[in-house]
């Protein structure tokens, strides 16, 4: 009796659940401390203390009916104003509160964008490897996913194939940088080139192509330099942001969409996205956490902890003979497997190592290692990595 | 460039916005204290103090990474367990945590249910007058809304027409009691009769028909008696609940769905609804507020304040010659208009009274008066109500 669209998802669910159960099962047999679960992208660095302090302060000083109450579907005006100012200060942009729509995390931000712009059979281009949940966000509004094959030398987007596959049906291009699953940061010149291609194709096809930039990992970069803000390169850009990783608040579901005035038909699109936020049932981003964000606008988690994890694990893997493009952000390593990636994951389990196969990100022959875990666990896992490498005679 | 489905919604939006602007405009001219806005269904009774105390306690005692972190897409297991026990204790049911899915309010609960069960052109029956946002929740998944005409003597559901219009295409029936916009509580015998009709029609058509009971106003009733729990009458019932009104937390977006084991194919439906919660982008209900609910499971706002408002306004309206079925719950009066309801609303504005016309709830010839306002405002509005009545020579 479930809907046809959901049937396949329900069937596949048992596979995912099995993977989770596997971890629990291994922990039961070998002890929690002897199982090395690198499969989950859950922030492991502490939420900044200021976040909880801000919540307490709001509860003490502000009117409860306001703090927990309805506001505009796009969010509290003062919160959006502070978000806009903060972006302007960092990137020299010129947004006001009307360009910001607070959302129930990045996932619902993507949903309300696609609900607002997609007609049946419109195409959305994504670059492999990519977070395959995007498929559900796009097909939920009857869009078709077009996957550009990976550029495995650098994991930068493959612009040659991109240009070829942009078509009259392309309504949007969805990118994610720093990237899940590779940890790669898309280079500024690559993004500029991508924008130029989009501008050219827009005039060729005579209609807008939207760029949707999903940036939950923006603050998780290991160089001091700010990543470029894409609305400056290309007018028809939606920026999707989340505080899940920035502040280690994934359960709170708080993020936003930026819609610049320069976007074609921006007034109507802002209205459409705001209405979509309401009618998909989010109504508005959670209110107390919205007000908390306003007070913690310049906070972020201690990124050096993730950087340390990356260095530790990357060096160990390279020493063992594994191939991996060194990532500059997020908290993932995307490592080449000497055999089929699913087979490799099965073998790794024998050493209590849990990974996600690259084929789950549209790029087989690799695994994703999520190093948002304790340094201690990484160090304890080294012996297992060694045994795994030995079993393929890698060194 | 917005999607065809959203075009009409964006067009209509300006009408709604105008209504909001009207209130602001009037307040500017006549002063905020001289404008009587009865158009909004926003809780006005204070959030119980225990809620904010619970939040502070959680922040002090629990691990931040857990409090703000990811959990199962259906919510924290312990929270769901407490919710299930509370329902069992009150209604003699037998739910466990697996029957409960925590949601981003009732609105997203309805969305994920419809996403899980509707195929294109499936029909969903609703009873006028009704919250017309339901149309968006249903059409969002390509379902068709079938509206049963109102029973204006009592505003109980019109079961005769209901039975006639149940068809092979009926996939679900959506009810809302206590009702927005009438404040009417559906009677137990009417609900039992409705269940019997559904059982009969299920066997006649050879497939399930789901009953979806939207109950955000369950605790806002003015008699001591608990309202019946519909899963006891009819197996294929989804209960949709929200804490928005119970605890005056509408901005926090917290509610749940109950899916009983007795529902046909319940395992798969639980899985589907959980996946839908993830893929429409909610991912999970906000985490800190989930944990807060667990600590405030027996709390509710002071309903006597709403009851007092109802009595005050109802008596005044009846004295002035208005006709209205006396409501027993929620915070609305649904009042018959002596002329066309939109014309009446325009006239009322001349006296700085703001209402929503019944035609916005699929029932013209009435207005909805939301009395979730201060008693003081109600008293101050009496003079305007008198003038409005006089202008129609009602007394």
CA distance A391 to chain B (A): 35
pLDDT at B345: 95
Q: Which of A5-14, B195-204, B224-233, B305-314 has the lowest mean pLDDT?
A: A5-14
DSSP string across B69-112: S---TT--HHHHHHHHHHHHHHH-----GGGEEEESHHHHHHHH
How do beta strands B237-242 and B210-214 pair? Answer: parallel
Of B104, B119, B269, the CB nearest to A282: B104
Question: Where do runs of H (alpha helix) occur along A206-322?
Answer: 266-279, 287-295, 303-319
- For the residues B358-371, what does the mean pLDDT come to? 97
**Exposure string for B363-375, b = 16+ CB within 10 A, e = fewer:** bbbbbbbbbbbee
| Structure-block tokens of residue B52 | 């904010």
pLDDT surpasses 90 at A14: no
Cross-chain residue pair A47–B56, CB shorter than 8 Å = no
pLDDT surpasses 90 at B14: no
Instruction: Collect all residues with Cβ–Cβ distance below 8 Å to B277 and sequence separation of at least 6.
Output: B73, B74, B101, B103, B108, B112, B283, B284
- What is the CATH code of the structural domain delimited by B4-47+302-391? 3.90.1150.10
- For the residues B1-17, what does the mean pLDDT come to? 86
Of B10, B52, B275, the CB nearest to A271: B10
pLDDT surpasses 80 at A24: yes
pLDDT at A394: 81
Half-sphere exposure of A112 (CA within 13 A, CB side): 38
pLDDT at A18: 76
Residue A56 with chain B: CB contacts under 8 Å: 56, 59
Query: Mean of the per-residue pLDDT values for chain B?
Result: 96
Interface probe, candidates B281, B285, B331, B374, chain A, greatest A C-beta count within 10 A:
B281
**Contact (Cβ atoms closer than 8 angstroms) between residue A325 and residue A178:** no
pLDDT tens for each residue of A169-219: 999 999 999 999 999 999 999 999 999 999 999 999 999 999 999 999 999
Put simply, whether A286 touches B (Cβ < 8 Å) is yes
| Structure-block tokens of residue B37 | 């806005």
Full-model pTM: 0.97
Put the strands of the sheet holding A237-242 in their side by side order. Answer: A100-103, A255-258, A237-242, A210-214, A170-176, A123-127, A144-148
- For the residues B256-266, what does the mean pLDDT come to? 98
* Same topology between domain A4-48+301-391 and domain A49-295: no
pLDDT at B243: 98
Put simply, whether A115 touches B (Cβ < 8 Å) is yes
pLDDT tens for each residue of A287-342: 999 999 999 999 999 999 999 999 999 999 999 999 999 999 999 999 999 999 99
pLDDT surpasses 70 at B63: yes
Longest dimension (CA), chain A: 65
Number of H helices, E strands in chain A: 13, 12
pLDDT at B347: 96
Residue given tokens 């009104």 in the structure block: B245
A127 closest CA partner among A195, A180, A199: A180
The CATH architecture that domain B49-295 belongs to is 3-Layer(aba) Sandwich (3.40)
Q: Is B178 helix (H, G, I), strand (E, B) or coil?
A: coil
Cross-chain residue pair A253–B283, CB shorter than 8 Å = yes
pLDDT surpasses 90 at A280: yes
* Region for residue A75 given its phi and psi (left: phi exceeds 0; alpha: psi -120 to 50; beta: otherwise): left
Report the residue of chain A nearest B254, measured CA to CA.
A286
**Contact (Cβ atoms closer than 8 angstroms) between residue B369 and residue B332:** yes
Q: Is A242 helix (H, G, I), strand (E, B) or coil?
A: strand
Put simply, whether A242 touches B (Cβ < 8 Å) is no
Residue given tokens 């259906």 in the structure block: B74
- For the residues A352-364, what does the mean pLDDT come to? 96
Distances (CA, A) of A147 to A161, A181, B51, B252: 10, 15, 47, 37
DSSP string across A129-180: S--THHHHHHHTTT-EEEEEPP-TTT-S--HHHHHHH--TTEEEEEEESSPT
Q: Is residue B277 very low, low, confident or very high in pLDDT (cuts 50, 70, 90)? A: very high
B301 closest CA partner among B216, B376, B239: B216
Between A and B, how many CB-CB pairs are < 8 A? Answer: 240
Helix H or strand E encompassing B258:
strand B255-258
pLDDT more than 90, % of chain A = 92
Query: Mean of the per-residue pLDDT values for chain A?
Result: 96
CA distance linking residue A166 with residue A86, whole number of Å: 34
pLDDT tens for each residue of A230-265: 999 999 999 999 999 999 999 999 999 999 999 999
Instruction: Collect all residues with Cβ–Cβ distance below 8 Å to B315 and sequence separation of at least 6.
Output: none
Q: Which of A31-45, B12-26, B53-67 has the lowest mean pLDDT?
A: B12-26
Of B2, B133, B290, the CB nearest to A272: B2
Q: Is residue B394 very low, low, confident or very high in pLDDT (cuts 50, 70, 90)? A: confident
* Region for residue A257 given its phi and psi (left: phi exceeds 0; alpha: psi -120 to 50; beta: otherwise): beta
pLDDT at A21: 79
Residue A285 with chain B: CB contacts under 8 Å: 253
Of B55, B249, B287, the CB nearest to A55: B55
CA distance linking residue B247 with residue B53, whole number of Å: 13
- For the residues B22-31, what does the mean pLDDT come to? 88
pLDDT surpasses 90 at B17: no
pLDDT at B215: 98
| Structure-block tokens of residue B146 | 């079938």
Cross-chain residue pair B55–A51, CB shorter than 8 Å = no
Put simply, whether B275 touches A (Cβ < 8 Å) is yes
Distance of CA A302 to the CA centre of its chain: 19
pLDDT at B395: 65
Put simply, whether A280 touches B (Cβ < 8 Å) is yes
Put simply, whether B110 touches A (Cβ < 8 Å) is yes
The verdict on whether omega for the bond into residue A178 sits within 30 degrees of 0, i.e. cis, is yes
Q: Quick one: CA dihedral A313, A315, A321, A327, positive or negative?
A: positive
**Contact (Cβ atoms closer than 8 angstroms) between residue A73 and residue A273:** no
Q: Is residue A224 very low, low, confident or very high in pLDDT (cuts 50, 70, 90)? A: confident
Write out residues 55-84 of B within 8 Å (CB-CB) of A: 55-56, 59, 64-65, 67-71
Cross-chain residue pair A68–B250, CB shorter than 8 Å = yes
Put simply, whether B269 touches A (Cβ < 8 Å) is yes
Q: Is residue A73 very low, low, confident or very high in pLDDT (cuts 50, 70, 90)? A: very high
CA distance A22 to chain B (A): 16
CB-CB neighbours of A57 under 10 Å? 14
**Contact (Cβ atoms closer than 8 angstroms) between residue B51 and residue B292:** yes
pLDDT surpasses 90 at A17: no
Cross-chain residue pair A108–B281, CB shorter than 8 Å = yes
- For the residues B200-224, what does the mean pLDDT come to? 96
| Structure-block tokens of residue A316 | 């160990």
**Does ipTM top 0.90?**
yes
pLDDT at B225: 84
Q: Is residue B12 very low, low, confident or very high in pLDDT (cuts 50, 70, 90)? A: confident
Write out residues 38-57 of A within 8 Å (CB-CB) of B: 42-44, 46-47, 51-52, 55-56
Cross-chain residue pair A13–B271, CB shorter than 8 Å = yes
pLDDT surpasses 80 at A19: no
CB-CB neighbours of B302 under 10 Å? 12
- For the residues A281-291, what does the mean pLDDT come to? 98
pLDDT surpasses 90 at A395: no
Residue A116 with chain B: CB contacts under 8 Å: 2-3, 6
- For the residues A278-291, what does the mean pLDDT come to? 97
The CATH architecture that domain A4-48+301-391 belongs to is Alpha-Beta Complex (3.90)
**Contact (Cβ atoms closer than 8 angstroms) between residue B250 and residue A284:** no
Residue B111 with chain A: CB contacts under 8 Å: 280-281
All structural domains of chain A with their residue ranges: 4-48+301-391, 49-295
């Amino acid at each position: 009796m479930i809907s046809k669209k959901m049937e396949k998802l329900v069937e596949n669910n048992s596979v995912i659940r099995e993977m989770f159960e596997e971890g629990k099962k291994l922990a039961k047999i070998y002890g929690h401390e002897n199982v090395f679960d690198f499969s989950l992208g859950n922030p492991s660095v502490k939420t900044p203390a200021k976040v909880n302090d801000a919540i307490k302060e709001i509860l003490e000083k502000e009117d409860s009916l306001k703090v927990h109450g309805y506001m505009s579907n796009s969010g509290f005006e003062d919160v959006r104003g502070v978000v806009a100012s903060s972006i302007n200060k960092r990137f020299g942009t010129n947004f006001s509160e009307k360009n910001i729509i607070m959302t129930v995390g990045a996932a619902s931000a993507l949903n309300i964008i696609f609900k607002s712009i997609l007609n049946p059979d419109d195409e959305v281009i994504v670059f492999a490897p990519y977070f395959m949940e995007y498929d559900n966000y796009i097909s939920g509004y009857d869009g078709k996913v077009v996957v550009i094959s990976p550029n495995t030398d650098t994991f930068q987007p493959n612009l040659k194939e991109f240009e070829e596959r942009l078509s009259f049906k392309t309504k949007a291009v969805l990118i994610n940088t720093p990237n899940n699953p590779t940890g790669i940061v898309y280079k500024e010149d690559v993004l500029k080139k991508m924008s130029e291609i989009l501008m050219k194709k827009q005039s060729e096809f005579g209609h807008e192509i939207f760029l949707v930039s999903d940036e939950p990992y923006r603050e998780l970069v290991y160089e001091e330099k700010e990543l470029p803000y894409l609305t400056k390169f290309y007018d028809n850009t939606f920026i999707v942001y989340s505080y899940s990783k920035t502040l280690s608040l994934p359960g709170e579901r708080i993020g936003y969409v930026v819609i610049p005035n320069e976007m074609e038909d921006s007034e109507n699109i802002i209205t459409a996205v705001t209405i979509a936020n309401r009618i998909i049932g989010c109504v508005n981003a959670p209110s107390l956490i919205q007000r908390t964000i306003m007070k913690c606008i310049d906070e972020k988690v201690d990124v050096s902890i993730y950087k340390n994890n990356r260095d530790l694990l990357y060096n160990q893997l390279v020493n063992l003979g594994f191939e991996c493009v060194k990532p500059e952000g997020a908290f993932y390593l995307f490592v080449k497997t000497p055999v089929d990636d699913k087979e490799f994951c099965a073998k790794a389990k024998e050493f209590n190592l849990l990974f996600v196969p690259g084929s789950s990100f549209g790029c087989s022959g690799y695994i994703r290692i999520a190093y948002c875990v304790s340094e201690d666990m990484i160090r304890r896992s080294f012996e297992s990595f060694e045994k795994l490498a030995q079993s393929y005679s890698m060194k």
